[in-house]
Amino acid sequence: MNNSVGIEGLNCPNCAKALEGELAKIDGVKNLKIDFIHSKITFESENFQDSVNKIIEITKKVEPNATIIVEHNKKKFNKNLIIDIITLIIGAGIGCCALFVPLPIWAFWVLFVLSALILGYKTYYKAIILLFKGIINENLLLTISVVGASSIGQNMEGLMVIFLYSIGKIFEGLAIDKSRKSIENLTNLQPEYATIIVDGKEEKVKPEQVTLGSTIVVKPGERVALDGIVMEGKASLNTQSLTGESRPAIIQKGDKILSGTIVLDSVLSIKTTSVYENSTISKIMNLIENATEKKSKTETLISKITRWYTLGVIIIAFVVFGIVWLVENNFNTALYRGLIFLVVSCPCAFAISVPLSYFSGLGNASRQGILIKGSNYLDACAKIDTVAFDKTGTLTTGIFSVNKIISFDKNKTEEDIIYLASLGEQHSLHPLAKSILALNKQKLKKVQNVKEIPGEGIQFEFQEKKYFVGRRNNNVKNTMVELFENDVKIGEIILNDTIKENSFEACNSLKNMNIETIMLSGDSKEIANNVGTQVGVQKIMAELLPQDKYQFIENYKEKNPKKIIGYVGDGLNDAPSLMLADVGISMGINGSPASIEASDIVLVDDNPNKVAQAVKISKKTRKIVWENIIISAGIKVTFLLLGTLGITGMPLAVFADVGVTLLAVLNSMRALYYNPQKSK
C-alpha cells in the first residue's frame, strides 16, 4: 500500500538523491521517492512501521542532519537549526582561542582539531559514509580542503573554509525553507474537514468520509470541501486560491460550487456531486504533487551532470595541482590552489536552484489557476509559436439557450419536437444536448439502436421509427439542431451561444507575444467567422469534424517541425488533439475528464486568457533558470581562474560556493512571485 513520511533538515538535492538510493534498497519497500520540494518520502510497503524504522535508521547514518517526521502534515519546531547555530558559535569560539591566544603547541592542536570537528563533523561524517558506498559529493570536497589546508600550515584558512561553509549552509537552508513554505502556502488548498448533516445535526468529518449526494454546510470563513450544487443560501466566494481572481464571486441556489473556494459572508447548504478523490481540490493537489516527476530537459541534464561532476572536479583539481607545481616549483602553493579549485567547484548552486526555479514557476502558475503537470510542459509552453482554440466551451461559454423551435410536421407541437430530440440527446455529452434536455418536461422513455455519428449527431429508433438528431446541413448562419423522422426533417431547434468576456483579451495577449492564434470549429463558416472575428483570432477554420482537427495539428507539426503548437479544448472529442499537440491545454470546470487527463495544462476556471498567462510564467521561469546557470557558472569560472593564479584565497572560494548558491536560491524565488497579469 502507498505510504508517506516527512523529512526535515534535508536541504541538498544531491544528498536527497544519494539518500533515496540507499533507502530504495530496503527489503519490502517499493517505488520509494524523495520529494525534495515537499520534504516528503513516498513508498509502497505492506508493513508501514517496520519500513519507517528502517528508513529512520538509514537516514541517521547517511544524513545525520535530517529528521523523519511520521505525521508530516503537522508543523514541527526546527530544532536542527538551533543546534547548528549553537554548534557554529561554540566551534568558532574554540577556533578563535586556538588561533589568537598564545598557547603551547599541543594545546593549539587540541583546540584546533576540536574546533574543526565541531564545525564540520556532519560534513566529514557524510563524506566518509558516502565514500564507502561509492558516492562522491561536495562533502568530500570540503573535507579534503580542510584537511589539505591544515596539512600545509594554512590553519586559519582551513577553519575559515568550514566556518564560512557552515554559515552559508544555515542561510541556504533558511532560504530553501522559506521558498518551500511559500510554495506550500500557495498550493495547500486541502480542507481540513467537512460539516455534514446527520439526523438533523451538524457533524464534522474528514472530507474523504463524505459520500456522494450528501448535504454539507459551509459557514463564513470555511473552505468548501467537495464539489457540489448550492441547495440553500447566497454568498460571496473567495476563489483566488483556485483561479487567481482577487474579486469575490457571488454564488446562489442552483449554482455549481468547486471545492477549495472559501465562503466569505453567509452559510451555504451544498449537495455534493463528487466524492473527495474526484473533487476539484483533490485533482489539483494530485497534479501539483506529481508535477515534480515530469522534469524538463534542462533539469534532467543538470541532474545527470551533477552525478559525475564531483569526480570530474577532483580529477581536474589534481591537474591544476600538477600544473602549478611544475610552474611554481612549490608543493604547498600547488596543493593550496588545487584545494581552492575543489571548494569553488561544488555543484550546489546548479543542483538546488534549477529544480527550485521550476517548482517556483509551477507553484506560481497554480496560484493563478493554471495547473502545469510538470517542468517539461512548462518548458514547452515557453516555446509556443501557435495556439489553436476549439470554439464551443473554450472561446464561447458552451452554455446555449434555445432561441427558436420550428416544427415542419403539423401534427407535432414544439413540445413534441423537444421531446423527440431529447430522446436522442440524452445519450450525448455535447453542450447543445444539455440545453435541449433542460427544456424537456416529459419523462424520457427508452430508445433502441442508439448510434453516435461523430461530428453529426445521434441516430436512434423509437416506436418503430428511425430518428436522427444533430446537424446534416452546414450551410446555415445559426447554431442549429435538426430532427429527422425516417429521413424526413420534422423540426429545427435554433440556439445561441455567448462568447466569453475574456476571449478577445486572450487572443490579443497572444498576438502581442507574436504567437499565432487559430480557431478550429465544427460549426458552419458563417457561425465560425462571426465568433472568430469578434474574438480576434488570426485564422479561422470551420466545418471540421474531430478527426479534421486532429489532422490539422498533425499536418502543422509535419510542415513546421521546429515550431511548437498548443491546442486548447474542453470536450471528449478534443482529447486526441490535446494529446497530439506539443502542449495540450484543457478547461478545468466544464472540461470532460478525458480532456483533462489528455492535457498537459489545466485552466481551473475555464478562462482562455490564462493561456497567455501560462506562456508568460513559463518564459519568466525559463529565463530565471538560465540566469541561475549562467551567473553561477560565470562566478565560479572567474574564481577558479583567480584561485588557480593565486589572486584569491580559500575564504573567497567558499563565497563562490555557498554565496552563489544562496544568491541562486533567492533568484529562484522570483519565479514564485512574478505576476503575469501586470507584465506586458
Catalytic site residues? 390
Q: Are 415 and 493 in contact (CB under 8 A)?
A: no
Going by C-alpha positions, the residue among 548, 510, 474 that lies closest to residue 395 is: 510
Look-up: residue for cell 463558416?
525
CA dihedral angle for residue 185, residue 187, residue 190, residue 192, rounded to 10 degrees: 0
Q: What is the DSSP letter of 396?
A: B
Pairing mode of beta strands 235-238, 228-232:
unpaired
Distance of CA 446 to the CA centre of its chain: 45
Amino acid at 230: V
CB atoms within 10 A of CB 488: 9
Spatial distance between the Cα atoms of 60 and 67, rounded to a whole number of angstroms: 8
Pairing mode of beta strands 201-205, 194-198:
antiparallel
Going by C-alpha positions, the residue among 434, 477, 435, 484 that lies closest to residue 456 is: 484
The three cell numbers of residue 5 are 513520511
Name every residue whose Cβ is closer than 8 Å to that of residue 447 and which is 6 or more positions away in sequence.
423, 424, 460, 461, 462, 467
Going by C-alpha positions, the residue among 288, 338, 295 that lies closest to residue 313 is: 338
The three cell numbers of residue 519 are 480557431
Q: What is the DSSP letter of 659?
A: I
3-state secondary structure of 191: coil
The three cell numbers of residue 42 are 513516498
Look-up: residue for cell 591544515?
150
Amino acid at 163: F
Look-up: residue for cell 515550431?
563
Edge-to-edge strand ranges of the sheet holding 67-69: 30-35, 40-44, 2-8, 67-69
Amino acid at 167: I
Q: Are 601 and 371 in contact (CB under 8 A)?
A: yes
